[in-house]
Amino acid sequence: MPYTMIIALAIHIVSAVIWVGGMFFAYSVLRPSMGTLEQAPDRLRLWRAVFARFFRIVIIEIVLLLGSGYWMVFVEFGGFAGVGLHVHIMNLTGFLMMGLFAHLWFAEWSKFRRFVDDGDFPAAGARLNRIRMIVFTNLWLGWITVVVGATGRYWG
Ligand code: HEM
């Protein structure tokens, strides 16, 4: 295996771990712990600060996932004709995840941020609920993508 493949795969896996692991932490650890903050505005302000950092990191991970993924497909495997079924599935679920994230970023997050900054907390809470649903969906798509990507060489 050429060392460029190893580097691309390493970048790919670490990016996937940061994105999916970050969503897992937000959804399954931070969200149920938020009740320790009594005031809803405090919780919303904390989510705003958390997401401002995390979503920027996700954009970097998406660029790295796409760059390393297509590097492997086109440079290492000679195009989509040379890859297994698992890579086609990963490509599809990966794009679903990225499409959902684009919607989250452009439609939901920008409004949520503005509502929190303007002190309109009921409206921000409604947006947060939609962000939660998108993150929940992407978390499951992320699990599927990671399992398909990592096990696929044995069946794909
Ligand atoms: C969207 C375009 C994507 C493309 C073109 C792509 C492409 C690839 C390729 C070519 C491999 C190597 C497969 C092999 O060696 O048999 C791979 C592995 C992998 N990919 Fe992707 N991928 C994409 C998105 C994603 C996403 C979004 C995730 C997770 C969030 C992901 C997670 C993984 C994992 C966990 C592996 C397995 C690493 C290993 O154990 O070898 N990929 N991907």
Cβ atoms of residues 146 and 37 within 8 Å: no
Counted domains in the chain: 1
* Atom 9 of ligand 1: nearest residue by CA position: 69
Question: What's the mean per-residue pLDDT of the chain?
Answer: 97
**In whole angstroms, what is the distance from residue 45 CA to residue 50 CA?**
9
**In whole angstroms, what is the distance from residue 101 CA to residue 151 CA?**
25
Regions of the chain where pLDDT drops below 50: none
Determine the atom of ligand 1 nearest the C-alpha atom of 84: 16
> What tokens does 55 get?
């979503």
Q: Over the stretch 63-103, which tens digit does the pLDDT of each residue have?
A: 999 999 999 999 999 999 999 999 999 999 999 999 999 99
* Atom 27 of ligand 1: nearest residue by CA position: 94
90 CA from centroid of ligand 1 (Å): 6
In which domain, by residue range, is 20 found? 3-154
What per-residue confidence (pLDDT) applies to 156?
81
C-alpha radius of gyration, the chain, whole number: 18
What per-residue confidence (pLDDT) applies to 1?
74
Nearest CA to 46 out of 58, 33, 28, 59 is that of: 33
What per-residue confidence (pLDDT) applies to 82?
96
